[in-house]
A and B are shown apart, each in its own frame.
Chain A
Amino acid sequence: MHYSPGTHPDLPAPASTVGVRGWLVHNLFSTPLNVGLTLISLYLLYVAIPPIVEWVITDATWRGETREDCDRLGACWVYIRVWFKQLMYGRFPDDQLWRINTAYIVLLLAAIPLFLPAFRHKHWVGLFLLVVYPVFAFVMFYGDTAGLELVETPLWGGLFLTLVIAVTGIVASLPIGIVLALGRRSQMPIVRALCVAFIELWRGVPLITVLFMSSVMFPLFMPEGVNFDKLLRALVGVMLFSAAYMAEVVRGGLQAIPKGQFEAAQALGLSYWRMMVLIVLPQALKIVIPGIVNTFIGLFKDTTLVLIIGLFDFLGMAQAVATNPDWLGFYVEGYVFVGFGFWIFCFGMSRYSQRLERKLHTGH
């Protein structure tokens, strides 16, 4: 058939470039190398996935109360169920668990408005979370006032302890980190030198040595008769350590603020602190929110190290119950459960920080 130029009806795209086949050709079988790689990966997946699925789900034991219920073909999730309370709360007394749960619920309820764009009074909620909530949580957890029973910190453990250490560490390290970052950029040579030395010292050594230091050296540093709780010592170590990292994150934000902002603030006659608090820090901290979240993820994973100085955090509890004589040989189940717990938190936070990064990237 003859068409005059420009009148031919559009032909459909070749079958090899559209639809499922097009996608496969383009993404999996585009070159001989890719064909090989695809086939090898498919084979590896075929070998690896079915046994894992069988172990985790189909062959696993979900119901039962004792070790004898597990046939050892697949995972024994009964083990997790039996020890669930210990993994979550440590040795916190059963009849007092409502205190931890209440504190969790209050935290969640208070945090929700922060994520609603339409909510206007975010600063009040923030102030509540930073000032009132810590006191409230401490009273709830530790007790000994307001008619609450005293729960000693050696009874704290599991995911609860992990959250306490991570959140306290990050909240306390933020103000210290800001002060250190300002000190590092200060004009005063002695202040600057002290801040640089402090930051680089903690950043240059592993957290383990810091924890060792806080657990064996603090008792030496204190006057006779002053006794520090083991958890408090660990917290001080974690705080010093994360403050140094936080200082570097904040410094990154300070450096990103154009010089004109400082000069404009000075030209308006603002004092150093008013310039920082009113002009520079609000902008700098906004830029580094993703960095702060990333520091938090790192700290959250690092809290597991406290088990080395004898605190039973989430992983420490899993390790402890794995050595229970009635339940020997269930390491893998414990690790999978704890690993999954950490993964959910860390993956969620890293996705959140990526989203924030895109949202805050207003561009210039």
Chain B
Amino acid sequence: MAADPNSFAASSAVPPKKPPLWNDPAWRALFFQVVVVALVILLGVFLVRNTLANLERQGIASGFGFLGSTAGFSIGESLIEYHEENTYGRTFLVGLLNTIWISFWGILFATILGFIIGIARLSSNWLISKLAMVYIEVLRNVPLLLQIFFWYFAVLRPLPGPRQSLSLGDGFFLNNRGMYFPDPVPEQGFHVVVIAFLVGIAAFQAVRRWAHVRQDRTGEQLPIFWIGLGLVAGVPVLAFFAAGSPLHFDYPALKGFNFKGGAVMSPEFFALLVALSTYTASFIGEIVRAGIMAVSHGQTEAAYAVGLTRSQTLRMVIIPQALRVIIPPLTSQYLNLTKNSSLAAAIAYPDLVLVFAGTTLMQTGQAVEIIAMTMAVYLCLSLFISMIMNWYNRKIALVER
């Protein structure tokens, strides 16, 4: 059989003629990649050699030793204790915390406002839907930096001084030094309220699980929303009064030329927060609208047909499906907001870019290390937010069989 030249086995035994080396895809790929790697290495060597030569000529030491030396400049606002004798490492931390702080609040407010705008855009009320459209089209087509400038230079800075502050209700004052508001101060025994809150959440989880089992068994439903509200909000309130209201507010009061007491939000933070959250909300509004519209109308009709009420349809049919469409683009908006918070540098809010990539860089001249550290921080923040959102996305993802 092996001798038969026409048989299949025989013809496959003679290997097809190999293409020449320069036409073989595998060799070509290898060759091409070697060339690419060589080019990248050459470029790297070129850049590193130039940089080292330039640094030496300018007398700048390389390495991260500068993080230990004294900073010697002050920072307007800081979440941790900081004064001029602290090190550059400390300024890095201050800037990083401020960046995280503004991003956190920005994301929170942008999400709330964005969902309101998105739902308003879908309202059956013509006026509401058109107003939402105007909001979206105006805010998202104007550069964010311009909006930050507008809030800072045109709205907050021309406000009157502390003596002529605008009063916004009891204990809220707005002037060119910022926004003053009452500071809640917990007293002896406040921990009872915190414990009651945690107990309420735990009890709510237990009741919810039990209600599920009960519904599976008997088909009867519990008004789980009201029970939950009572446990999570009612129990701590009762505990609060039972413990004798262990909380008082520290009200800001005008003393001399400025306010004393209370809490204050600086105009820089306020302008940045308003601009970041209203700008991002316009994008989130469009995302929410698209997400809700992506749920086909048949789903709503089917839900009504099986007897679900309007609110049940919304809660159990439309929102879970809409969220799957909303979450991925929402994640990228959160990432954008975090990155956009770096515009703080333009109005001197002491975030990472201003404090570290700005002042610290100017003082030490260690451009390479500082820019690399700053970029690494933003990359890590981006990765961290993506991780959380991907985890959430997996949790709500459609379970396909």
Chain B 343-375 interface 0/1 with A at a Cβ cutoff of 8 Å (1 = within): 101100000010001000100000110010011
Measured CB to CB, the nearest residue on chain A to B36 is: A191
Q: Is the CB of B142 within 8 A of A339?
A: yes
Q: Is the CB of A350 within 8 A of B146?
A: no
A339–B139 alpha-carbon span in the complex (Å): 10
- The answer to the question of A53 belonging to the interface, with a C-beta cut-off of 8 Å to chain B, is no
A273–B344 alpha-carbon span in the complex (Å): 45
Instruction: Specify which of A209, A331, A350 is in contact with B141 (CB 8 Å cutoff).
Output: A350
Q: Is the CB of B40 within 8 A of A194?
A: yes
Q: Please provide the chain B residues from 1 to 46 with a CB less than 8 Å away from any CB of chain A in the complex.
A: 29, 32-33, 36-37, 40
Chain A 189-201 interface 0/1 with B at a Cβ cutoff of 8 Å (1 = within): 1110010000011
The number of residues on chain B lying at the interface, defined by a beta carbon within 8 Å of a beta carbon of chain A, is 52
Q: Is the CB of A219 within 8 A of B54?
A: yes
Which residues of B pack against A, CB within 8 Å? 29, 32-33, 36-37, 40, 47, 50-51, 53-55, 57, 123-128, 131, 137-138, 140-146, 149-150, 153-154, 158, 339-340, 342-343, 345-346, 353, 357, 361, 367-368, 371, 374-375, 378-379, 382-383
- The answer to the question of A319 belonging to the interface, with a C-beta cut-off of 8 Å to chain B, is yes
A201–B339 alpha-carbon span in the complex (Å): 13
> B145 contacts which chain A residues (CB < 8 A)?
304-305, 307, 315
Q: Is the CB of A301 within 8 A of B379?
A: no
Q: Is the CB of B149 within 8 A of A315?
A: yes
Grouping DSSP codes into helix (H, G, I), strand (E, B) and loop, the A interface class, with mixed when no group exceeds half, is: helix
A361–B324 alpha-carbon span in the complex (Å): 24
> A213 contacts which chain B residues (CB < 8 A)?
371, 375
> B367 contacts which chain A residues (CB < 8 A)?
216-217, 220
Contact of A331 with B154 at beta-carbon distance under 8 Å, contacts A37-B127, A42-B127 already known:
yes
> A262 contacts which chain B residues (CB < 8 A)?
none
Q: Is the CB of B353 within 8 A of A212?
A: yes
In the assembled complex, the CB of A208 is this many whole angstroms from the nearest CB of chain B, namely 5
Chain A 273-305 interface 0/1 with B at a Cβ cutoff of 8 Å (1 = within): 000000000000000000000000100011011
7 contacts between A and B (CB under 8 A): A212-B361, A223-B53, A308-B345, A335-B153, A338-B146, A347-B137, A350-B141
Q: Is the CB of A190 within 8 A of B143?
A: no
Q: Is the CB of A342 within 8 A of B141?
A: yes
Q: Is the CB of A342 within 8 A of B142?
A: yes
Instruction: Specify which of B51, B57, B342 is in contact with A206 (CB 8 Å cutoff).
Output: B342
- The answer to the question of A224 belonging to the interface, with a C-beta cut-off of 8 Å to chain B, is yes
Binds B, one of A4-12, A26-34, A55-63, A79-87: A26-34
Q: Is the CB of B127 within 8 A of A205?
A: no
In the assembled complex, the CB of B49 is this many whole angstroms from the nearest CB of chain A, namely 9
20 more A-B residue pairs beyond the given contacts A297-B141, A304-B146, with a C-beta to C-beta distance below 8 A: A28-B127, A30-B125, A34-B124, A38-B127, A190-B33, A190-B37, A201-B375, A201-B379, A204-B375, A205-B378, A208-B353, A208-B357, A220-B55, A220-B367, A220-B368, A222-B50, A224-B53, A305-B343, A335-B149, A342-B141
Q: Is the CB of B375 within 8 A of A205?
A: yes
Q: Is the CB of A205 within 8 A of B53?
A: no
The number of residues on chain A lying at the interface, defined by a beta carbon within 8 Å of a beta carbon of chain B, is 53
Chain A 223-264 interface 0/1 with B at a Cβ cutoff of 8 Å (1 = within): 110000000000000000000000000000000000000000
Instruction: Specify which of A30, A38, A216, A329 is in contact with B361 (CB 8 Å cutoff).
Output: A216
Instruction: Specify which of B33, B125, B339 is in contact with A38 (CB 8 Å cutoff).
Output: B125
A116–B269 alpha-carbon span in the complex (Å): 49
- The answer to the question of A188 belonging to the interface, with a C-beta cut-off of 8 Å to chain B, is yes
- The answer to the question of A221 belonging to the interface, with a C-beta cut-off of 8 Å to chain B, is yes
> A52 contacts which chain B residues (CB < 8 A)?
none
> B33 contacts which chain A residues (CB < 8 A)?
188-191
Measured CB to CB, the nearest residue on chain A to B386 is: A204
> B144 contacts which chain A residues (CB < 8 A)?
301
In the assembled complex, the CB of B132 is this many whole angstroms from the nearest CB of chain A, namely 10
- The answer to the question of A346 belonging to the interface, with a C-beta cut-off of 8 Å to chain B, is yes
In the assembled complex, the CB of B69 is this many whole angstroms from the nearest CB of chain A, namely 20
